[in-house]
């Protein structure tokens, strides 16, 4: 059904659930306010009854932990759908920030944006948490590529949002198809264990894979499915020769996971056999600490999933700091605008 923007508590009664729908919110539901907390809708009714809904206000957004800012563009796209757009200042996406630093300032009537406090804070909180975790991995990789493989660890409705945040934080590519396309890029990834298990042999799979992907796409093959990783690496290298761009290690925890010693051995065997240009790609439960250990062992690229998706959301707070031209704040907060020279006008 077509939804109109929520305006009053009375509008809630008009909602009709579509049978069999998924439980995630549609874009229309987000943009019309249906994912906000009920108390902001009650606030509209209360302020309207007193003739105060159009009161000019200034709000500031901050969080109590440092991190890497992300989610701004999605908030701006939300605001651009408003009939009365507020003025917005913010620090740039991808910027590192300190605890309690003002990240965004919104100026306008309360009516213009107040209903969407829940929505905008959620957009910023999740994306900033993911971006912060991704930046930790990128920094640990020390110039080596980090690919985001986290889509399977979050609800599919937010997978593109998560991978976009990782990209903003410095990840070089993403595996989620929609995430990549929304960032005007192409998704990156090899081929899963399932394909190798069905084919029955890694080398046989490598040959088939070589025939089915574009010539310009790098040939990267998993080498931990059936045999010792070092043995399988050399079998694949001998099969594909100069076509082989890299081998991917994803050894499960049940067999000790991917270790620096394993990476070092494979790098050594490739080099002495003349395959110096073949990259060793490490994936599977990587953390910044493990990435640092892999660097010196010879890993070329990292694929990170769960560490990024499990990044702690940065709980965002939005406070009114000016009401009708007067400095104001709840107890415990500083009344009036808090200066931040890094804020830029973005809307």
- Residue-wise pLDDT tens digits, 41-53: 999 999 999 999 9
| Contact criterion met (CB below 8 Å) for 176 and 160 | yes
Q: Closest Cα partner for 120 from 134, 106, 109?
A: 106
pLDDT of residue 252: 92
278-283 average pLDDT score: 98
Q: How far is CA 59 from the centre of its chain?
A: 26
Q: What pTM was computed for the model?
A: 0.95
Q: Is the pLDDT of residue 2 over 80?
A: no
317-344 average pLDDT score: 97
301-304 and 145-148 beta bridge pairing: parallel
Residue 1 pLDDT level (bands cut at 50, 70, 90): low
Residue 195 CB partners (closer than 8 Å, separation 6+): 205, 209
292-306 average pLDDT score: 97
Angle between helices 288-295 and 117-141 (to 10 degrees): 20
Distance, CA of 305 to CA of 316 (rounded, Å): 24
Q: Closest Cα partner for 82 from 43, 112, 122, 119?
A: 112
| Contact criterion met (CB below 8 Å) for 146 and 167 | no
Q: Is the pLDDT of residue 244 over 60?
A: yes
pLDDT tens for each residue of 202-217:
999 999 999 999 999 9
183-208 average pLDDT score: 97
Give the up-direction half-sphere exposure of residue 301: CA atoms within 13 A in the CB hemisphere: 24
Choose which CATH entry (1.10.3720.10, 3.20.20.70, 3.50.50.60, 3.90.420.10) describes domain 138-309: 3.20.20.70
| Contact criterion met (CB below 8 Å) for 163 and 148 | yes
pLDDT of residue 17: 86
- One-character DSSP codes across 59-127: EEEEESS-EE---HHHHHHHHTTSSSPPEEEEPPTT-EE-TT---EEEEEEHHHHGGGHHHHHHHHHHH
- Name the residue with higher pLDDT: 19 or 68: 68
- Name the residue with higher pLDDT: 77 or 4: 77
Distance, CA of 203 to CA of 54 (rounded, Å): 68
Residue 172 pLDDT level (bands cut at 50, 70, 90): very high
Distance, CA of 218 to CA of 210 (rounded, Å): 9
DSSP state of 226: S
What CATH class is the domain 9-129+312-345? alpha beta
Q: How many CB atoms lie within 10 A of CB 261?
A: 11
Question: With pLDDT > 70 as the criterion, what percentage of the chain qualifies?
Answer: 100
Handedness of CA 164, 168, 170, 172 (dihedral sign): positive
CATH 3.20.20.70 spans which residues of the chain?
138-309
pLDDT tens for each residue of 91-121:
999 999 999 999 999 999 999 999 999 999 9
Q: Is the pLDDT of residue 37 over 70?
A: yes
pLDDT tens for each residue of 6-17:
999 999 998 888
pLDDT tens for each residue of 117-168:
999 999 999 999 999 999 999 999 999 999 999 999 999 999 999 999 999 9
CATH 3.20.140.10 spans which residues of the chain?
9-129+312-345
pLDDT of residue 18: 87
Q: Is the pLDDT of residue 249 over 80?
A: yes
Residue 30 pLDDT level (bands cut at 50, 70, 90): very high
Q: How many CB atoms lie within 10 A of CB 241?
A: 10
187-191 average pLDDT score: 94
């Amino acid at each position: 059904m077509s939804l109109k923007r929520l305006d009053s508590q009375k509008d809630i009664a008009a909602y009709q659930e579509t049978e069999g729908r998924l439980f995630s919110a549609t874009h229309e539901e987000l943009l019309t306010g249906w994912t906000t907390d009920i108390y902001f809708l009650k606030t509209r009714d209360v302020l309207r009854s007193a003739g105060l809904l159009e009161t000019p206000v200034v709000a500031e957004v901050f969080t109590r932990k440092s991190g890497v800012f992300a989610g701004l563009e999605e908030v701006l796209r939300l605001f651009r759908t408003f009939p009365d757009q507020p003025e917005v200042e913010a620090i740039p996406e991808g910027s590192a920030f300190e605890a309690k630093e003002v990240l965004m300032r919104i100026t306008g009537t309360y009516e213009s944006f107040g209903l969407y406090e829940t929505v905008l804070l959620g957009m910023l909180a999740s994306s900033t948490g993911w971006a912060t975790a991704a930046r930790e991995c990128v920094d640990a990789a020390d110039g080596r590529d980090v690919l985001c493989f986290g889509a399977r660890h979050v609800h599919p409705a937010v997978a593109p949002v998560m991978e976009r945040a990782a990209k903003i934080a410095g990840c070089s590519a993403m595996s989620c198809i929609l995430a990549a396309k929304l960032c005007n890029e192409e998704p990156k990834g090899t081929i899963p264990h399932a394909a190798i298990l069905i084919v029955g042999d890694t080398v046989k799979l490598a040959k088939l894979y070589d025939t089915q992907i574009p010539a310009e796409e790098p040939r990267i093959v998993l080498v931990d499915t059936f045999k010792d990783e070092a043995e399988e690496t050399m079998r694949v290298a001998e099969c594909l020769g100069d076509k082989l761009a890299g081998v991917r290690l994803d050894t499960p925890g049940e067999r000790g996971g991917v270790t620096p010693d394993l990476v070092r051995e494979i790098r050594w065997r490739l080099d002495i056999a003349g395959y110096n240009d073949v990259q060793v790609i490490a994936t599977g439960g990587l953390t910044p600490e493990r990435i640092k250990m892999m660097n010196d062992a010879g890993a070329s690229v990292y694929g990170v999933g769960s560490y990024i998706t499990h990044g702690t959301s940065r709980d965002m707070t939005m406070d009114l700091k000016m009401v009708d031209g007067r400095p104001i704040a709840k107890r415990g907060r500083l009344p009036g605008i808090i200066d931040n020279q890094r804020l830029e006008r973005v809307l």
